A and B are shown apart, each in its own frame.
Chain A
């Protein structure tokens, strides 16, 4: 690197020059914004090395990761050489597609294998892995000054996201409580909001919906006003994954819960209240009137690809699905827009349930301190900013990245409305489920019941009463109810 460029980047790292001025300066020196960001990242790594923290402590150690095939993984791999240079450590990894990924994790952990030191997971999964004794409480590392670099800045993590990855292990225990264990470190996350095709809504003469009633009407109108499309994409497969995105986000906006927790810690079904039944009725009608014809087999993949291909007018699902479908080779690239969505007309703001891709440390790892070095680097602010501004490491989980003007500009230029949507819904974003060990049983049954309702196999009221009865019986049988 030439001295002038190096000096400019170092000045930026010291905070004496703004990011905009630095990129402008580098541009004047004939450097593209992308190259500039790579150099900034390398400079950030150098700065980390000079922070006084002994990054070389585990030099020569090899850490093995189990990873899901995902843009977050790609971003990490793209930046991995910097970690290796910083620490002298080596990192090897196995990457599996999502269809089989969690089976692989369960098999590896339940067998007590020490093959993998750390792995990607969702926060819901840690409700099984934590109590089973398969993963470590990362608080032991985060708050240990000898093991964590002083610039890690744990408090920079978005609060709702950070707390959603912490649970005290008590069924029904509040996420992020004072006695909670940090089972995983947030890496990247998804809120559930609206992604819509502006042209299709305009064709149909409907405005962007702002509550569930408008959504039901707008979806039907969009379907009627456009040839060969359906109105709204939401998930429908017989899986817990059908419940957690748009459905639960809208549901919880009406202050509805999945389970009640009594004073003595006993759990009971809470999904057959009158408000819940009314919400279910609207949701079911929306799918029947204007959902995908093969809704009951739709996973996130079909929901995303259909809106990207122009087969649906909008989706109420993960915002990053809308992000990815608005670029690349998708037919609707550049045509999609975003809106925060509060299903309840009386609610002051959206309350999206969130999915958090996180990193956990295996209890069976034989080199936990070295593994923590990798985890803190991968979830650190430097990699977060690199991934978000250079790769598709979106949504970042750190406030500092969201506050970064360069990142916001990049996102706003390419995805108009995305940043604003995030800013509006982020304060209310958290996991809305009750943390408990039967999570997958109960939510899968909930999804199956929803399928029956949509297929008119069972009326909504009756279906929810039956579901609640079954949930209570299962909770009781497991000693939780």
Chain B
């Protein structure tokens, strides 16, 4: 028999079948380590009295940082401000995003062009958007201040007044993120089956009734997805608020991330900063779980499993 008839033995590194699953999951494991190590480090910091400026006083205080929050009015203010901000931004963005998506639902060249144009703010970094808005709301030369004066608000102080600071940052958030919700809901609307709508049209069902009874229920998974993403992001808001007011005036906008950032980078109070972020993590986790459960339930219902 000639040599050519013998199949050439493959050279190179070979992974045994037993080890293959572990090797394949290695990247995921590494990513996991990259997430878990900082996470548990932060957990450890949150259980310590740890100020960089007082290294001699560093010690484990276990739950004291958390316990102190109970009697700390600034913590409760932070919680209130963060949740208010998240509810206002997500609620308003959902309504506005849905309205715009409904207006652009029909596939026409104009609607497609407008939907692409409306995505522009989403491509702007939130911190830059804030600086842009800061200029537009400047009482001396800001275009928005000028418009406000035209409609009778001569001395409207936007983010620098405690009574309008929240409104101002919510407006910036809406400007940046409403397109995100709009595009998600637009995709949902355009993918809905046509038959129910055609049947309703044949039966002469009023449009409002169609919206409440057909469109909205069928769109709910998309609404939940959009809400989940936005709630997680807005409860962790930092850049818009910090760039606009650094958490002020007073403590009107001291959301979790701003407070934690100032605690670490300015006060070098690592323990309190980490504890604040742990609380934020718990809030985010709980909200995510609620939304995901609702989303799964809805999906099962749509499949007729319940």
Please determine whether A452 and B249 come into contact, CB atoms closer than 8 angstroms: yes
Chain A minimum-CB-distance residue to B266: A440
Best-surrounded residue of B51, B140, B157, B162 (most CB of chain A within 10 A): B140
Q: Is A151 an interface residue (CB 8 A)?
A: no
The listed residue (B245, B250, B268) touching A452 by CB distance below 8 A is B250
Q: Is B115 an interface residue (CB 8 A)?
A: no
In the complex, what residues of A have CB within 8 A of residue B262's CB?
A: 444
Assess A297 versus B245: contact at CB under 8 Å? Given A437-B51, A452-B250. Answer: yes
Q: What is the interface of chain A mostly: helix, strand, loop, or mixed?
A: helix
In the complex, what residues of A have CB within 8 A of residue B160's CB?
A: 236, 293-297
Q: Is B300 an interface residue (CB 8 A)?
A: no
Chain B 240-265 near chain A by CB (<8 Å), digits 1 or 0? 00001111111100000000001001
Please determine whether B244 and A297 come into contact, CB atoms closer than 8 angstroms: yes
B interface, size bucket: 20 to 34
Binds A, one of B52-60, B82-90, B172-180: B52-60
Please determine whether A296 and B53 come into contact, CB atoms closer than 8 angstroms: no
Binds B, one of A51-59, A128-136, A172-180, A314-322: A128-136
In the complex, what residues of A have CB within 8 A of residue B248's CB?
A: 237-238, 296-297, 447-448, 451
Q: CA separation between A474 and B155, bound complex, in Å?
A: 38
Assess A437 versus B54: contact at CB under 8 Å? Given A240-B266, A293-B139, A297-B245. Answer: yes
Q: CA separation between A5 and B130, bound complex, in Å?
A: 56
In the complex, what residues of B have CB within 8 A of residue A92's CB?
A: none
In the complex, what residues of A have CB within 8 A of residue B226's CB?
A: none
Q: Is A328 an interface residue (CB 8 A)?
A: no
Please determine whether A106 and B134 come into contact, CB atoms closer than 8 angstroms: no
In the complex, what residues of B have CB within 8 A of residue A133's CB?
A: 55
Q: CA separation between A441 and B265, bound complex, in Å?
A: 11
In the complex, what residues of B have CB within 8 A of residue A441's CB?
A: 266-267, 269
Residues A131-153 near B (CB distance < 8 A): 131-133
Chain A minimum-CB-distance residue to B55: A132
Please determine whether A294 and B157 come into contact, CB atoms closer than 8 angstroms: yes
A300 → chain B, closest Cβ, in Å? 14
In the complex, what residues of A have CB within 8 A of residue B233's CB?
A: none
Please determine whether B54 and A478 come into contact, CB atoms closer than 8 angstroms: yes
In the complex, what residues of A have CB within 8 A of residue B139's CB?
A: 292-294
Q: Is A324 an interface residue (CB 8 A)?
A: no
Q: Is A3 an interface residue (CB 8 A)?
A: no
Chain B minimum-CB-distance residue to A298: B160
Chain B minimum-CB-distance residue to A106: B265
Residues B36-75 near A (CB distance < 8 A): 51-57
Please determine whether A106 and B53 come into contact, CB atoms closer than 8 angstroms: no
In the complex, what residues of B have CB within 8 A of residue A448's CB?
A: 247-251
B1 → chain A, closest Cβ, in Å? 66
In the complex, what residues of A have CB within 8 A of residue B249's CB?
A: 238, 296, 448, 451-452, 454-455
Please determine whether B265 and A131 come into contact, CB atoms closer than 8 angstroms: no
In the complex, what residues of B have CB within 8 A of residue A103's CB?
A: 265
In the complex, what residues of A have CB within 8 A of residue B52's CB?
A: 106, 110, 128, 132
A299 → chain B, closest Cβ, in Å? 9
Q: Is A239 an interface residue (CB 8 A)?
A: yes
A344 → chain B, closest Cβ, in Å? 28
The listed residue (B158, B267, B269) touching A294 by CB distance below 8 A is B158
Q: CA separation between A295 and B266, bound complex, in Å?
A: 22
Please determine whether B155 and A238 come into contact, CB atoms closer than 8 angstroms: no
Assess A131 versus B55: contact at CB under 8 Å? Given A448-B250, A451-B250. Answer: yes
Q: Is B138 an interface residue (CB 8 A)?
A: yes
Chain A 55-72 near chain B by CB (<8 Å), digits 1 or 0? 000000000000000000
Chain B minimum-CB-distance residue to A463: B250
In the complex, what residues of A have CB within 8 A of residue B267's CB?
A: 438, 440-441, 444
Residues A436-470 near B (CB distance < 8 A): 437-438, 440-441, 444, 447-449, 451-452, 454-455, 457
Q: CA separation between A437 and B267, bound complex, in Å?
A: 8
Please determine whether B266 and A444 come into contact, CB atoms closer than 8 angstroms: yes
Residues B135-151 near A (CB distance < 8 A): 137-140
Q: Is B275 an interface residue (CB 8 A)?
A: no
Chain B minimum-CB-distance residue to A437: B53
Q: Is A30 an interface residue (CB 8 A)?
A: no
Q: CA separation between A240 and B155, bound complex, in Å?
A: 27
Chain B minimum-CB-distance residue to A452: B250
Q: Is B181 an interface residue (CB 8 A)?
A: no
The listed residue (A239, A295, A457) touching B246 by CB distance below 8 A is A239
Please determine whether B140 and A297 come into contact, CB atoms closer than 8 angstroms: no
Chain A minimum-CB-distance residue to B127: A99
Please determine whether B51 and A478 come into contact, CB atoms closer than 8 angstroms: yes
The listed residue (B53, B55, B140, B162) touching A455 by CB distance below 8 A is B162
In the complex, what residues of A have CB within 8 A of residue B265's CB?
A: 102-103, 106
In the complex, what residues of A have CB within 8 A of residue B94's CB?
A: none
Counting from the closest, the 9 A-B pairs by CB-CB distance are A238-B248, A437-B53, A293-B139, A294-B160, A296-B249, A452-B250, A128-B53, A451-B249, A296-B160
24 A-B pairs in the complex with CB atoms less than 8 angstroms apart: A103-B265, A128-B53, A133-B55, A238-B245, A238-B246, A238-B248, A238-B249, A240-B266, A293-B140, A295-B160, A296-B160, A296-B161, A296-B249, A297-B245, A437-B51, A437-B54, A438-B53, A438-B267, A440-B266, A448-B247, A448-B249, A451-B249, A452-B162, A452-B249
- A sample of 6 more A-B contacts (CB under 8 A), given A294-B139, A452-B162, A478-B57, is A132-B268, A238-B250, A294-B138, A296-B160, A297-B159, A451-B162
